[in-house]
């Protein structure tokens, strides 16, 4: 009895540490409960106390409690915290992810669906292997369809509980959709034949099990009388169905989430699950956790003022008992270089003044490609950093692949570079053939590339010789062009002729899009290198470019055990907090991106705004928002307005300091430099039109001052037309998107 009193006291003491709203949520145990937990409001704390309260105060058997989280890490943290508060018996609470809960259920009952209980779970590589088999069987054109793209379509269908048969019906007369539906059907058939499930199937099959077997559903409804789901805003339709079926009998379902932090729509998350909770469960109680324990009031005010512009949300406003704090620092720069320089300088100065350490600082951006400028500045300034949720820019596969092409063109003696690209993209040159060429090169004391040039002399090389000869001819062609091309033109030629970007576009996945953005950033790097060399009056050679990259890309000097600044995308930052946060690239066209602006769907902008809200609420003490008037994107100077999200923050919350635009210095290039000679040679050399995909028009049907329209940017006025060797360069002031420079043949401008 005495021991029981101790336990009861401990849970009451624990409840006393909660604020009134947290306590209300923790002790409301019966019926549906929606906890709208704002950023930094202590939701995990509420959940763990609620579990302890159910066990100790309400006498609920821990066996009857299910708590679902999204990651294994979150599950183990919750389990640990419950054990601390509740003590004995807490280990019987099911704390798991959606997938692990479903695996446990399926291992026990899947035989009623025609699978063996020892089913295999296929990972991404296994799925790709199956899809390759289907592509061969159906004789699929790999230039139009990509394995990853089709797998992404199948995954999306499963998220929405759409069967192959339903997909086929929905396809109607669309031949493309019908083909994908056919592949989906075959994919499921192969998985069944192999007694295998993919990750999406784990949820889908559990839902199917419950829907077709009332006795099994009843067993688990009795088993899990109390259900809690964390990060409910990130659930998809299948996960929602799984949870609602389990909770149908007793309705003791507690979901915790923040609709304002729903940022995973691209992964299938359905914000409607949290917004429509009260429609599905009309008797639901709603508790709002609005007290924030993380940030200063000024930071929260900025976050509140941004997110209030969304229409798809539940009303809530964050507040804190923390200090008011500094205003949000807002800085506008002339370009991305100045922006990166400022951020590096602020971090160095803050650390020198003892204000904070490197590890207190985080730089957040919309896309991974944006890390490049910051990495370069940090390396030059000896600021240690770490990329979270990504790879250092110059270590990314697509960047290494394309740089290996440039290295091979510049210096074919670089065996590593040549070997890397010999079969990228795939040319049917296998490892056995590569091994034979390498053996021959070693025996004859040749470089790997020289051995490729005399491949007919390599013993037992067989049919691979023809493919290798094609590769050598391809590289030799690029070598001869590179003598007259700029670095950018060489790179773009490699991209065009290899079809590298086209392959990525065909994948239609988020990952592929991120890779394309990184390639665009590499093109921007070649352009900024060109400008810098022109300004310095030095030749912008391929060798000089690769040398600069090599110096910047030396990331080995950064010790991962050191105190370092964290660089990450806004998506990666979710759930984290830092004393000092920099959100960079806050321009319309970058964040929100043009894709969201152009889509015409207001929910796309709302998703981006939620992402901005997540970024702002990561900051504890100081928040700096930066943007640039112009930024290099895919090698073109893009003039952007300040992000609409910044404009939504009232001026009184911002400490503004704008950097006035300077007149750009016109470089004085000496007339007789090798760079000038190369430039002249480029102008005068006659090229075979077949070498270029760009065909220059004899003349344009518009002139300076004319109104023109662009397929993406809409209407604009022509400011300037410059005749170049390959094409006309046109500068246009677009009504909605500002001033842009573009090549006439690509832009396809039409006179209005």
**Sign of the CA dihedral running 189, 194, 198, 201:** positive
> What letter would DSSP give residue 333?
E
Structure tokens at 67: 């708590």
> What letter would DSSP give residue 643?
P
Cβ–Cβ contacts within 10 Å for residue 341, how many? Answer: 17
Cβ–Cβ contacts within 10 Å for residue 194, how many? Answer: 13
Question: Do 475 and 409 contact (CB within 8 A), yes or no?
Answer: yes
Name which of 256, 308, 265, 323 is nearest 287 in CA terms. 256
Question: Do 584 and 278 contact (CB within 8 A), yes or no?
Answer: no
**Sign of the CA dihedral running 183, 239, 604, 509:** negative
Token pair 């429509």 is found at 276
Question: Do 730 and 747 contact (CB within 8 A), yes or no?
Answer: yes
Is the backbone of residue 39 left (phi > 0), alpha (psi -120 to 50) or beta?
Answer: beta
Structure tokens at 634: 């895919």
- Residues labelled catalytic: 43-44, 230-231, 261, 618
User: Does residue 638 sit in helix, strand or coil?
Assistant: strand
Which residues pair with residue 714 across a beta bridge? 710
**Sign of the CA dihedral running 576, 582, 585, 587:** positive
Q: Rounded CA gap, 422 and 431, in Å?
A: 10
91: exposed, middle or buried (Cβ count in 10 Å: 0-12, 13-18, 19+): exposed
Exposure string of 521-540, with b = 16+ CB inside 10 Å and e = fewer, is bbbbbbbbbbeebbeeeebb
Name which of 301, 271, 272, 275 is nearest 286 in CA terms. 275
Name which of 325, 327, 319, 321 is nearest 300 in CA terms. 319
Contacts with 552 (C-beta within 8 Å, 6 or more apart), sequence order: 375, 376, 379, 380, 394
DSSP string, 559-598: -TTS--EEEEETTTTTT--EEEEEE---BTBBTTBHHHHH
Between vectors from CA 651 to CA 648 and to CA 653, what angle results, nearest 5°? Answer: 95
DSSP string, 708-747: EEETTTEEEEEEEEEE-SSSEEEEEEETTTEEEEEEHHHH
Enclosing H/E stretch for 226: strand 226-229
Q: Rounded CA gap, 639 and 641, in Å?
A: 7
Question: Do 434 and 533 contact (CB within 8 A), yes or no?
Answer: no
User: Does residue 354 sit in helix, strand or coil?
Assistant: coil
Q: Rounded CA gap, 606 and 71, in Å?
A: 25
SS3 letters across 251-310: CCEEEEECHHHCCCHHHCCCCHHHHCHHHHCCCCEEEEECECCCCCHHHHHHHHHHHCCC
Q: Rounded CA gap, 412 and 404, in Å?
A: 10
């Amino acid at each position: 009895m005495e021991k029981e009193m101790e336990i009861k006291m401990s849970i009451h003491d624990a409840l006393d540490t909660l604020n009134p709203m947290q306590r209300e949520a923790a002790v409301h145990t019966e019926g549906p409960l929606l906890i709208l937990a704002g950023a930094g409001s202590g939701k995990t704390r509420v959940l763990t106390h609620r579990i302890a309260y159910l066990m100790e105060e309400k006498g609920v058997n821990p066996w009857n409690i299910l708590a679902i989280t999204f990651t294994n890490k979150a599950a183990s943290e919750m389990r640990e915290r419950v054990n601390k508060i509740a003590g004995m018996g807490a280990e019987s609470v099911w704390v798991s992810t959606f997938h692990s809960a479903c695996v446990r259920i399926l291992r026990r009952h899947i035989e009623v669906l025609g699978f063996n209980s020892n089913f295999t779970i296929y990972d991404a590589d296994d799925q790709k292997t199956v899809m390759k088999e289907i592509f061969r069987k159906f004789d699929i054109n790999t230039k139009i369809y990509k394995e990853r793209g089709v797998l992404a379509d199948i995954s999306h269908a499963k998220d929405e509980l759409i069967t192959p048969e339903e997909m086929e019906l929905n396809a109607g007369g669309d031949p493309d959709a019908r083909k994908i539906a056919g592949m989906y059907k075959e994919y499921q058939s192969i998985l069944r034949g192999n007694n295998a499930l993919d990750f999406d199937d784990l949820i889908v099959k559990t839902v199917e099990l419950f829907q077709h077997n009332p006795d099994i559903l009843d067993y688990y409804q009795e088993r899990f009388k109390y259900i809690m789901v964390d990060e409910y805003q990130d659930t998809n339709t299948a996960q929602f169905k799984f949870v609602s079926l389990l909770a149908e009998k007793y309705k003791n379902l507690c979901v915790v989430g923040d609709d304002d932090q729903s940022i995973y729509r691209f992964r299938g998350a359905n914000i409607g699950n949290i917004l429509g909770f009260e429609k599905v469960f009309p008797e639901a109680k709603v508790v709002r956790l609005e007290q924030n324990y993380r940030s200063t009031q000024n930071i929260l005010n900025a976050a509140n003022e941004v997110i209030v512009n969304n229409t798809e949300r539940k009303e809530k406003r964050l507040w804190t008992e923390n200090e008011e704090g500094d205003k949000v620092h807002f800085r506008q720069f002339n370009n991305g270089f100045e922006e990166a320089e400022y951020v590096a300088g602020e971090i160095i100065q803050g650390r020198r003044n003892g204000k904070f350490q490197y590890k207190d600082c985080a730089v957040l951006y919309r896309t991974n490609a944006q890390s490049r400028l910051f990495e370069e500045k940090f390396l030059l300034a000896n600021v240690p950093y770490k990329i979270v949720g990504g790879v250092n820019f110059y270590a990314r596969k697509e960047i290494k692949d394309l740089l290996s092409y440039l290295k091979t063109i510049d210096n074919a003696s670089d065996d590593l570079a040549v070997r890397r690209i010999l079969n990228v993209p795939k040319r049917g040159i296998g490892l056995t053939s590569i091994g034979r060429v390498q053996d021959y090169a070693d025996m004859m004391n040749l470089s790997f590339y020289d051995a490729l040039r005399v491949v007919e002399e390599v013993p037992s090389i067989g049919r691979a010789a023809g493919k290798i000869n094609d590769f050598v001819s391809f590289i030799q062609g690029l070598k001869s062009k590179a003598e007259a091309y700029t670095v950018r033109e060489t790179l773009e030629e490699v991209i065009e002729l290899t079809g590298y970007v086209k392959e990525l576009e065909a994948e239609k996945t988020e990952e592929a899009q991120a890779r394309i953005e990184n390639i665009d950033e590499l093109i921007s790097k070649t352009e900024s290198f060109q400008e810098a060399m022109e300004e310095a009056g030095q030749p912008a050679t391929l060798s000089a470019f690769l040398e600069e990259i090599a110096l910047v890309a030396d990331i080995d000097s950064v010790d991962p055990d050191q105190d370092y600044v964290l660089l990450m995308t806004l998506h990666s930052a979710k759930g984290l907090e830092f004393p000092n946060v920099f959100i960079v690239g806050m321009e319309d066209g970058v964040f929100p991106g043009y894709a969201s602006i152009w889509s015409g769907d207001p929910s796309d902008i709302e998703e981006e705004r939620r992402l901005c809200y997540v970024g702002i609420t990561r900051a504890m003490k100081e928040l700096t928002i930066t943007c640039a008037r112009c930024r290099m994107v895919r090698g073109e100077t893009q003039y952007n307005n300040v992000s609409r999200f910044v404009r939504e923050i009232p001026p009184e919350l911002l400490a503004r300091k704008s950097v006035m635009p300077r007149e750009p210095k016109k470089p004085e290039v000496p007339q007789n430099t090798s760079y000038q000679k190369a430039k002249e040679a480029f102008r005068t050399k006659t090229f075979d039109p077949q070498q270029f995909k760009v065909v220059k028009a004899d003349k344009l049907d518009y002139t300076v001052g004319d109104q023109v329209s662009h397929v993406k940017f809409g209407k604009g006025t022509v400011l300037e037309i410059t005749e170049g060797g390959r094409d006309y360069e046109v500068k246009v002031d677009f009504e909605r998107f500002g001033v842009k420079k573009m090549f006439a043949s690509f832009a396809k401008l039409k006179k209005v």
